[in-house]
Amino acid sequence: MNVLISILAALAAAALVMTGTALVARRQGRVAIVDVAWGLGFVLAAVASGAAALLLDAGDAVRTGIVVAMVAVWGLRLAAHIGRRSAGHRDEDPRYVKLLGGTLAEVGMARAVRKVFAIQGAALAFVALPVAVGVVQGVAWWPVVVLGVVVWAVGLVFEAVGDAQLSAYRAQPRESRPPVLDTGLWAWTRHPNYFGDSCVWWGTWLAGGLASGWVVGLATVAAPAVMTYFLVHATGARLLEQTMMKRPGYPEYAARTPLFLPRPPRRQDRGRRGHRVP
């Protein structure tokens, strides 16, 4: 019963966030605002499940605080970053124009709710399962909690530093900057932000799911696995690569730099320049 209540709390939080976001999108006339709400939705879902655990006197309060804090730090940073990046943008993101078959004004709010807000709300609640289930369980293995925090921290560094390096690159004048961002973390992987995001959710699963025991770990492992699949194959790296490969210098950069899993740059790779402007 405790697990069901915690999951329902997370689901209600996701529904609340996406409903509010849909209303804001209708007022602004653009669906892309959902990208900011994505991180905030996870924060609210984690807080809701954590509050449910405390009210039910279930789980371990220390571990609950750790897991909720992990999600909150990640989600608030992501929302702030995307909010700054999209500030002043009035046009719809081309990804959503393609997904919807037109702008919000052209296709209508009902289609946007079906194809964007409802799906993202359901995905949010699903990915948050290790948190919702874990916070109402006891801790079986504290070393796994620690390992989860370490993996989460590695992911957060990759994501935050990668985003900062890309922002600094974009801030340079086009005529004077290198044609490809292939320095820093971008020399290790073509998508350090996506790799970091994946690590964040595997770390959260370790701390919130597997640390509760094998049963909870196996019951929730699909959440980070599905998230990683989407980051690599569905809506993330592979989709972006279709556009990037058409740009000068990017195929050469791709030939010497891994798509997702990072590796140190080979000696012959150093000092070379290419292009990275999603």
* Claim to verify: residue 151 and residue 27 sit in the same structural domain: no
Domain stops at, among 118, 138, 158: 138
Residue 193, both tokens: 């932000």
- Write down the pLDDT at residue 275: 43
- Write down the pLDDT at residue 33: 87
Q: SS3 letters for the chain? A: CHHHHHHHHHHHHHHHHHHHHHHHHHHHCCHHHHHHHHHHHHHHHHHHHHHHHHHCCCCCHHHHHHHHHHHHHHHHHHHHHHHHHHCCCCCCCHHHHHHHCCCHHHHCHHHHHHHHHHHHHHHHHHHCHHHHHHCCCCCCCHHHHHHHHHHHHHHHHHHHHHHHHHHHHHHCCCCCCCCCCCCHHHHCCCCHHHHHHHHHHHHHHHHHCHHHCHHHHHHHCHHHHHHHHHHHHHCCHHHHHHHHCCCCCHHHHHHHCCCCCCCCCCHHHCCCCCCCCC
Question: How confident is the model over 79-124, as pLDDT tens digits?
Answer: 999 888 877 667 777 778 877 888 888 888 999 998 889 999 999 9
CB 162 within 8 A of CB 197: no
In the Cβ-directed half-sphere of 61, how many Cα atoms lie within 13 Å? Answer: 4
CB 148 within 8 A of CB 211: yes
Listed as own residue / partner, the contacts of 162-165 with beta carbons closer than 8 Å and 24 or more positions apart are 162/186, 162/192, 162/193, 162/196, 163/81, 163/193, 165/192
* Claim to verify: residue 131 and residue 147 sit in the same structural domain: no
* Claim to verify: residue 134 and residue 1 sit in the same structural domain: yes
Burial class from Cβ neighbours inside 10 Å (0-12, 13-18, 19+) for residue 92 reads buried
- Write down the pLDDT at residue 268: 56
- Write down the pLDDT at residue 278: 44
Q: Which of 80, 221, 78, 82 is nearest to 148 (CA)?
A: 221
* Claim to verify: residue 132 and residue 147 sit in the same structural domain: no
* Claim to verify: residue 186 and residue 123 sit in the same structural domain: no
* Residues in the chain, pLDDT under 50: 270-278
Neighbours of 95 (CB within 10 A): 14
In angstroms, the first-to-last Cα distance of the chain is 45
- Write down the pLDDT at residue 250: 84
* Claim to verify: residue 50 and residue 109 sit in the same structural domain: yes
* Claim to verify: residue 98 and residue 166 sit in the same structural domain: no
* Claim to verify: residue 148 and residue 277 sit in the same structural domain: yes
- Tell me the pTM: 0.87
Number of domains in the chain: 2
- Write down the pLDDT at residue 267: 64
- Write down the pLDDT at residue 171: 84
* Claim to verify: residue 75 and residue 13 sit in the same structural domain: yes
* Claim to verify: residue 109 and residue 155 sit in the same structural domain: no
Domain stops at, among 107, 138, 169: 138
Q: Alpha carbon of 90 to those of 32, 86, 99: distances in Å?
A: 10, 9, 18
**Residue 274 belongs to what domain range?**
141-278
* Claim to verify: residue 174 and residue 276 sit in the same structural domain: yes
Domain stops at, among 138, 155, 173: 138
Distance CA 205, CA 208 (A): 5
Question: How confident is the model over 49-87, as pLDDT tens digits?
Answer: 999 999 999 989 999 999 999 999 999 999 999 888 877
* Claim to verify: residue 69 and residue 156 sit in the same structural domain: no
Q: Phi and psi of 178, rounded to 5°?
A: -60, 150
Distance CA 8, CA 120 (A): 16
